[in-house]
Amino acid sequence: MVDLPGVESIAFGCSLASRGYCPVPAFNTSPGTTAEVVKTWDIMAALLGAAPLLPQSNVGPPAFLLDIKRTGQDAPLTDATFDNRWFVFKSDLPSAQRLREQGIRRLAVVCREGRFGFDLRDALAEHRDLELSVLDAQTGSAGPFPPPASGVVRMFRTFGRLLRRNMDGSFGRPISHG
């Protein structure tokens, strides 16, 4: 799992591809026609630019590419802003059993200074039987994966994330404060 700013995540994914990994863009967002909370157009441009650099084979272990800015935590929300924030849910990722069936026993989250999204931490809570670690993208140093939050805390966080969906279950809409 690569949880860096979108464009940087794609660049890191290209580097992993040259080492035999199969980058899997997992940007669950859509672009807005005006100002966006998450800068999706930059991510789309980087994906288009990276595509010719990737090997044609996809036989290596997956490297899921995420945008650490996906929740729009520091983005200003105004009436003119398109809300395209998103979260990672456990259903977005292969189960630990599926990964083991593919011969994958270790899983690392690549991030900066040990900081990655709480949604990803919650999504990986049931992957504890794999060897989990956190890798710093700049230094390469490895650290332990934090223990999962309690089941009750994860349930409330997931419930809160689900409340942010549109009535039809999708995400993305212009923000209205009135």
Tens digits of per-residue pLDDT, 74-130? 777 777 788 888 889 889 999 999 999 999 999 999 999 999 998 899 899 889 899
Residue 174 has pLDDT above 70, yes or no: no
Residues 39, 32: Cα–Cα separation, whole Å = 9
Q: Say if 178 falls within a structural domain.
A: no
pLDDT of residue 172: 58
Q: Say if 175 falls within a structural domain.
A: no
Rounded percentage of the chain residues whose pLDDT exceeds 70: 84
Residues 146, 14: Cα–Cα separation, whole Å = 27
pLDDT of residue 167: 54
Q: Say if 38 falls within a structural domain.
A: yes
Range of the domain at 13: 2-73+82-169
Please tell me the total count of domains within the chain: 1
Residues 159/117, Cβ–Cβ less than 8 Å: no
pLDDT of residue 22: 94
Q: Say if 177 falls within a structural domain.
A: no
Q: CA 45: distance to chain centroid?
A: 18
Tell me what the pLDDT averaged over the chain comes to.
Answer: 86
Q: Flag the least confident range among 26-30, 56-60, 93-97, 165-169.
A: 165-169
- Strand 131-136 relative to strand 81-83: parallel, antiparallel, unpaired? unpaired
Residues 64, 119: Cα–Cα separation, whole Å = 14
The neighbouring-strand residues paired with 25 are 65
Q: Regarding predicted confidence, which is higher, 52 or 83?
A: 52
Q: Regarding predicted confidence, which is higher, 173 or 139?
A: 139
pLDDT of residue 178: 46
Entry pTM: 0.84
Residues 133/106, Cβ–Cβ less than 8 Å: yes
Residues 91, 106: Cα–Cα separation, whole Å = 19
Quick one: average pLDDT of 52-80? 86
Q: Say if 44 falls within a structural domain.
A: yes
Predicted confidence (pLDDT) per residue in 15-35, tens digit: 999 999 999 999 999 888 778
Q: Say if 176 falls within a structural domain.
A: no
Q: Regarding predicted confidence, which is higher, 68 or 85?
A: 68
Q: Regarding predicted confidence, which is higher, 148 or 26?
A: 26
In what order do the strands lie in the sheet containing 81-83? 35-36, 81-83, 173-174
Instruction: Quote the tokens at residue 62.
Output: 């997956």
Quick one: average pLDDT of 52-70? 90
Q: Say if 68 falls within a structural domain.
A: yes
pLDDT of residue 43: 95
